[in-house]
Amino acid sequence: MQDANLYGAVRAAALMASGALSSEQLVLACLERIHARDPDVLAWAHLDLALALAEARERDRERSAGRVRGLLHGLPIGVKDIIDTATLPTEYGTPIYRGHRPAADAACVVAAREQGAVVLGKTVSTELANRHPAITRNPHDLAHTPGGSSSGSAAAVADGMVPLAFATQTGGSLVRPAAYCGVAGYKPTYNSINGAGIKLLAPSLDTVGVYGRDVPDAALFAAALIGFPTPSFDRLPAAPRIAIYRTPQWSLAEPSMMSAFDAAPARLQAAGATVSELALPAAMDAIIDASNVVNDYETRRSLAYERVHHLDRLSPTLGGKLVQAGRWTREQYVDALRIVDDCRRMLEDGLRGVDVLVTPSAEGEAPRGLENVGKTAFHQMWTMLHVPSVAVPVFTGPAGLPMGVQVVAARGDDVRALQAAHWIQQVLRG
């Protein structure tokens, strides 16, 4: 079917259920798009075309026999290359593991396959999911970064190569690429999607999430993996109670983001939302430094093998970070965790009486050049606080690239975050 690769996951799933589209047709359309575009975008680390088509044909045979595995039946997905797959190499974005073939799929890949997903391939990750840039380019403008570390997944979804993809976040590795590439990025409540079989960096922070073309697509993927009922987006609940929160890092926002974000509250209120400004205690500012300590301390230990045995094969970016991270003592790490606990209580207090917070999803549009993956501003605090956040594109920057907002809810209020994010996106993009 022509242009089937451009269908979102919800639409494609409905068409397959009705018999108007087959998984094989959808996978072939995605592979054709990859063949046409990936030499420029460079979103994929590994592809096995024969294997993907064989999986798709098996899903079609199962459907014909009345055996539908679950919500993802026949839908192709991309898997970030720090997530283990037994059927494809997993190299973690580093030559240290070139050709590495895990013995088993990661738990989240098993869950997706149980629900009927077809693994299309492995998407490019930055080096060990850290900040050294990878080869992927922003599909909206190849001269700009797609962000990182989930660069390949975000670029592949944005460019119509695959409707859904896995991402992970330790600092801003999911939300920032979503913001830069203009896709829906959903970081669930911490530990909602099992992380077994993923190359860990900072276990107190690492969160598995997903990308989709829009919020309903991301919600479908997440519902299949997490097990909550698929949210309804046809009949949304009443307009949400929104708190606008500029965060302690507001000064890092670019003028274009500041201007667009400052205009958003009036538009949301005009559409029926109850909108207020949130000011948390000054002590909340400490969350940024505390999360840096936790990230450095835990990453140095998680990547001990690479640091001790292969430091010369790491980039100066990551190698230098691991060496410098040795300055943090156990006492400083424990103190940082105490600060985080205090900040979680402050956030819980701040969320009373509102449904969600709205904050920028990045400092602005994707920077020009591929030398860096962008700032961690506006992301890392939500990762450290373990709350769900949903990034949605709603603005356009001065270079014509996407910019967006991030919708944050209390821990465990994931469905509320998703529904509010969809409502907010419809209002601000309309």
Query: In the 3-class helix/strand/coil scheme, how is 112-155 assigned residue by residue?
Result: HHHCCCEEEEEECCCHHHCCCCCCCCCCCCCCECCCCCCHHHHH
User: Judging by beta carbons within 10 Å of its beta carbon (0-12, 13-18, 19+), is residue 98 exposed, middle or buried?
Assistant: exposed
Q: How confident is the model at residue 232 (pLDDT cuts 50, 70, 90)?
A: confident
- Is pLDDT above 80 for 237? no
pLDDT digits (tens, 9 = 90+) for 47-71: 999 999 999 999 999 999 999 999 9
- The confidence score (pLDDT) of residue 3 equals 93
Report how far residue 357's alpha carbon sits from residue 410's, in angstroms, rounded to the nearest whole number.
Answer: 9
pTM: 0.98
* CA dihedral sign, ordered 294, 295, 297, 303: positive
Catalytic residue among 80, 187, 199, 321: 80
Residue 160 contacts residue 128 (beta carbons within 8 Å)? no
| Mean pLDDT along residues 131-153 | 97
Distance CA 273, CA 294 (A): 36
* Residue of 118, 227, 226 lying closest to 162 (CA atoms): 118
Pick from 57, 80, 194, 192: nearest CA to 126? 80
Q: What separation in angstroms does the CA of 263 have from each of 147, 266, 269, 415?
A: 25, 6, 11, 26
Sign of the CA dihedral 42, 224, 198, 322?
A: positive
* 242-270 mean pLDDT: 97
Task: Count other C-beta atoms under 10 Å from residue 277's C-beta.
Answer: 9
Cβ-count burial 223-241 (b if 16+ within 10 Å, e if not): bbbbebeebebeeeeebbe
Q: Give the separation between CA 93 and CA 370, rounded to whole angstroms.
A: 16
Please provide the DSSP assignment of 45-78 as one string: EEE-HHHHHHHHHHHHHHHHTT---STTTT-EEE
Tell me which residue has tokens 């979804």. Answer: 157
Q: What is the mean pLDDT of residues 394-423?
A: 97
What percent of the chain shows pLDDT beyond 90?
97
* Residues sharing a CB contact under 8 Å with residue 262, sequence separation 6 or more, in sequence order: none
Q: According to the model, what pLDDT value does residue 359 have?
A: 98
Strand pairing category for 356-360 and 402-408: antiparallel
Report the pLDDT value the prediction gives residue 235, as an integer from 0 to 100. Answer: 75
Note if 173 is an active site residue. Answer: yes
User: At residue 236, does pLDDT exceed 80?
Assistant: no
Mean pLDDT for the chain?
97
- CA distances to 284, 359, 372, 418 from 349, rounded to whole Å, are 12, 17, 36, 21
Give the 3-state secondary structure of residue 336: helix
**Cβ(173)–Cβ(198) under 8 Å?**
no
Summarised one tens digit per residue, pLDDT across range 87-125 is 999 999 999 999 999 999 999 999 999 999 999 999 999
Could you report the per-residue pLDDT of 265-323, keeping only the tens digit for each?
Answer: 999 999 999 999 999 999 999 999 999 999 999 999 999 999 999 999 999 999 999 99
Distance (Å, rounded) from C-alpha 56 to C-alpha 27? 7
Q: How far apart are CA 297 and CA 405, in angstroms?
A: 30
Mean pLDDT of 363-373: 96
* C-alpha–C-alpha distance, residues 110 and 86, integer Å: 10
pLDDT in tens, 72-89: 999 999 999 999 999 999
Segment 225-248 shows an average pLDDT of: 91
Q: How deeply is 36 buried, as exposed, middle or buried, from its count of CB atoms within 10 A (0-12, 13-18, 19+)?
A: middle
The CA distance from 16 to 136, in Å, is: 31
Q: What's the whole-number mean pLDDT along residues 193-204?
A: 97
pLDDT at position 408 is 98
Contacts of 1 (CB under 8 A, 6+ apart): 20, 21, 25, 26, 29
In this prediction, residue 129 carries a pLDDT of: 98
Catalytic one among 23, 149, 150, 204? 149
Using DSSP, state whether 249 is helix, strand or coil. Answer: coil
Task: Return the structure tokens found at 245.
Answer: 């929160």
> Residue 2 — pLDDT band, cuts 50, 70, 90?
confident
Asked whether residue 389 carries a pLDDT value surpassing 90, the answer given is: yes
Q: Write down the pLDDT at residue 67.
A: 98
In this prediction, residue 427 has a pLDDT band, given cuts at 50, 70 and 90, of very high
Give me the domains of the chain, ranges plus CATH numbers. Answer: 4-226 (3.90.1300.10), 241-284+336-429 (3.90.1300.10)
CA nearest neighbour of 188 among 211, 162, 214, 158: 211
Name, in order, each residue with C-beta under 8 angstroms of 265's C-beta and a sequence gap of 6 or more.
Answer: 242, 244, 275, 277
List the beta bridge partners of residue 212: 164, 184
- Annotated catalytic residue within 173, 204, 291, 389: 173
